[in-house]
Amino acid sequence: QVQLVESGGGSVQAGGSLRLSCVASGYIYSNYCMGWFRQAPGKEREGVASIIIGRGRTYYDDSVKGRFTISQDSAKNTLYLQMNNLKPEDTAIYYCAAGLWVGCSGSLQSSRYNTWGQGTQVTVSS
């Protein structure tokens, strides 16, 4: 069974950068997908970025395009989210997720993902 552990959250000022990491225990096959989601207080969880394993195809929510970059290191079994030019509205708990089936298709819908990390807090101050 795959387990996911996130790290790299913290507090930064607007305009700053953070890099989140997610280490996966267990093998994630090609054509499965991994993604980053976030949930702010009082709001629903939303998809931020996703990647199809083995194909490198990436998908982003419009709110983060041009600022966030999702990537993976297969050798380290690690997923990353580089976040630049952070804004106060990016403040949320960020979750790493894996869609361990080909139907995941890089979707940003949380229902397509069946394995979740515990989350890491990102706080951006103005």
Q: What is the pLDDT of residues 27-79, one digit of tens each?
A: 888 889 999 999 999 999 999 999 998 888 999 999 999 999 999 998 899 99
pLDDT at position 30 is 83
pLDDT at position 124 is 98
Query: pLDDT tens digits for 8-29?
Result: 999 999 999 999 999 999 888 8
Residue 121 pLDDT greater than 90, yes or no: yes
Cα distance between residue 20 and residue 82, in whole Å = 6
pLDDT at position 31 is 85
pLDDT at position 29 is 83
Query: pLDDT tens digits for 93-111?
Result: 999 999 988 888 889 999 9
Work out the average pLDDT over 115-126: 97
DSSP string, 9-74: -EEEETT--EEEEEEEES---TT-EEEEEEE-TTS--EEEEEEETTT--EEE-TTTTTTEEEEEEG
pLDDT at position 21 is 98
pLDDT at position 44 is 96
